[in-house]
Amino acid sequence: MKLFKNTLIKITLVCLLILANLMFTQPSWAGKKISDDPDYVEVTKLLESALQDKQTQGSTSELDQAIANLKFQKYILENSKEPVGICRNETDKTLLVYGKKPKKSSSTYSNQLYLLPSGAETDDEWDCQGVYIPGQTAAEGQEATPAQAFKIVHGTRLVATTNPETGETEFNLPPLKLIQSGDKDNWFIPENLQAALDAGLTTATIDD
């Protein structure tokens, strides 16, 4: 995906910086059973599967990068101060982010979409689970891409920015994974941005 290929080097550098910073922080999960956390369970299973694929199929640059990303996700979960995801919007437009459904919601999806205005950051007591990425229609020489959800784990501090040359939204960290409509995660992933806005979204809880 073009979005991630263009920023792979920057993502790697940022990951190294954050890892160094986390080495001086105390784990937020001290005294808690992190092994029971759904994000930790998922990361562990994905990592074990990727390592098994490397043993049976051999090493590839794509698989090695996936393993490195999963190890980083696991490190975040084990060492972050905050047991929630935090998303910051440094783009010039409103982003759509994922969060927990209201208790009275009748939705059959696992979570709900919310608006995150430009310049805003989600509250540190509100779990941002990821960002909605609208699909792209086919252009000359390029294939159409479906809408996706950029999933993050608890403890992630995600920052979205705009590439000044391409205008594309970029992120400071890789996702745990990209989810599409119909996947077993059962996230609400509308076909396009207008369909998402037509759902009558509310604003995420913002950090004051």
pLDDT digits (tens, 9 = 90+) for 70-120: 999 999 999 987 789 999 999 999 999 999 999 888 899 999 999 999 999
pLDDT digits (tens, 9 = 90+) for 55-67: 999 999 999 999 9
In this predicted model, which residue has the larger pLDDT, 145 or 27? 145
The predicted model scores a pTM of 0.80
> Which one, of 150, 136, 147, lies nearest residue 97 by Cα?
150
Q: Give every CB contact of residue 82 below 8 A, 6+ residues apart in sequence.
A: 28, 124, 154, 155, 157
pLDDT at residue 141, as a whole number: 64
Q: Give every CB contact of residue 147 below 8 A, 6+ residues apart in sequence.
A: 132, 133, 134, 135, 180, 181, 189, 190, 191, 192
pLDDT at residue 26, as a whole number: 42
pLDDT at residue 139, as a whole number: 66
- pLDDT-derived band at 33 (thresholds 50, 70, 90) equals confident
Q: What average pLDDT does the segment 181-192 reach?
A: 91
CA angle (97 as vertex; 96, 100 as ends), nearest 5: 135
pLDDT digits (tens, 9 = 90+) for 126-143: 999 999 999 877 666 677
User: Where do the DSSP E strands lie in 134-189?
Assistant: 148-151, 157-162, 169-171, 177-180
**Average confidence score pLDDT of the chain:** 84
